[in-house]
Every structure is written in structure tokens, then in C-alpha cells.
Amino acid sequence: MEQTKSDQAYAPGMLLGTFITFEGCEGAGKTTQATLLRDYLLEKGKEVLLVREPGGTPVGELIRDILLNSEDVDIAPITEALLFAADRAQLVRDIVRPALQKGVTVIGDRYVDSSLAYQGVGRGCGLEPVKNLNDWATGSLEPHLTVFLDMSVKDSLARAKPGGLDRIEKEDLEFHENVRYAYSMLQRIFSYRYVVVDANGSPEAVHARVVSEVEKIIM
């Protein structure tokens, strides 16, 4: 699964905008940092769109409810992978690709790498099958930059909202450690687009680290 920047899947084609995604384990601050970056870029006069996964479209919101809130339903790993890919296919077709074609900067709160880490490794579905599935679902649309918010699983889970955990957040420690290990593999495989940002500290401190990386490609 070795990838290089010259791979056809990376080529943005007629897409004029910049696609930035945030990845990380549960509680690492992805949503907070994606929102702070959107606000920062808007202040700089950029046209920006923030999207989340799963969700972001009417179909996606229905899938989100199945994936995250169906605690009493036994969802097979392959079914979970297919549902995430279906949500992503709709989001890319309806929202992400049209925005990029117009030159908008799109910020994604999770993207394909989440499926590679969570379903490919965490659920044992395999990196290659999950990547192939998502290449098909997204037309091989790849981010220009992926920001991985790095902190220990113990610390990140401690940040997660107690009493409000979703179905995946409630998985055991071993599952989340496997997911973090998967991300370390993805950082090597897709090193041309990954930056690792220390997620420890105040939201403002982490935001400053994120901005320093983002400005290298779009400012």
C-alpha cells in the first residue's frame, strides 16, 4: 500500500480549492481545531467550508444515527465500513467536490483515513480492502493536507465527554490503541500529505501549531 505524491489518486484534476482533513483518536480535539481553523481562514478572507463525518448531508445524517447511536444493534465490521463509505460517497459528490471545483478551501472533520484506521485495522477489515472501497466511493479524492492531532490514548479518552459517548467511543482501550497504531502506519504511507501536531495544551496553543502547518500550503 505504498503511496507517493505522484500517484494518480493524488492528482486534484480540475479542483481549484484546497482540501484539509483532521484526524486523530477520540477526544484529541479534531472538531475544535477544525472549527478554529475555519474561523481563522475566514478572517483571512478565504472562502471556507467545514464538513464532518459521518453526516453533512441528509443521507449522511441518517447513516450517522445508525453508526454512532445504534448501541443495541450488532453491526458487522464490514457493514460498518460500507456505511462509512456510503456516507462519504454522498458527502463528496454533493458537498466536497463541488466546493473544491469552485476554489473553496474545504476542511474535513475526519475523512478516509478514519476508515483505514478504525475499520481497516481496529475492526480487522484490512487496509487494502477499505482503501479500495473508499477510492471507489470518493473517486480517489485525496486531501492536500492531513493534520493528525497526536496525544496518548489515555489522555485523549479522558477528554471524551463522560456520559455522552457514542458507540465507537465506548470501545475498549485495546481497540483505541490499535487505532492509534494504525494512524502511525498511515503517517508513513502517506507521508507526503501528513503533518503531526501535538494535541496537548490549550485549544489556542494547539491552534497555533495547526496554523503554522496550514500556512505552508495555502497562505
**pLDDT tens-digit readout, 157-179:** 888 765 567 888 888 999 999 99
Q: What is the 3-state secondary structure (H, E, C) of 124-143?
A: CCCHHHHHHHHHHHHCCCCC
Q: Which fold has domain 16-218?
A: Rossmann fold (3.40.50)
DSSP secondary structure letter of residue 180: H
Can you give the residue ranges of every domain in the chain? 16-218
Q: How far apart are CA 89 and CA 110, in angstroms?
A: 14
Per-residue pLDDT, averaged over 14-23, amounts to: 93
Per-residue pLDDT, averaged over 40-66, amounts to: 95
**pLDDT tens-digit readout, 110-163:** 999 999 999 999 999 999 999 999 999 999 999 999 999 999 998 888 887 655
| 175 or 6, which is more confident | 175
Residues whose CB falls within 8 Å of the CB of residue 65, separated by 6 or more in sequence, listed in order: none
Report pLDDT for 9: 39
Give percent of the chain with pLDDT exceeding 70.
91
Report pLDDT for 2: 54
pLDDT at 199 over 80: yes
Residue 196 β-bridge partners? 148
- Rounded to a whole number of angstroms, the CA Rg of the chain reads 16
Distance from the first to the final alpha carbon of the chain: 31
Length of the chain in terms of residues written: 219
The half-sphere exposure of 119 on its side-chain side, counting CA atoms within 13 A, is 25
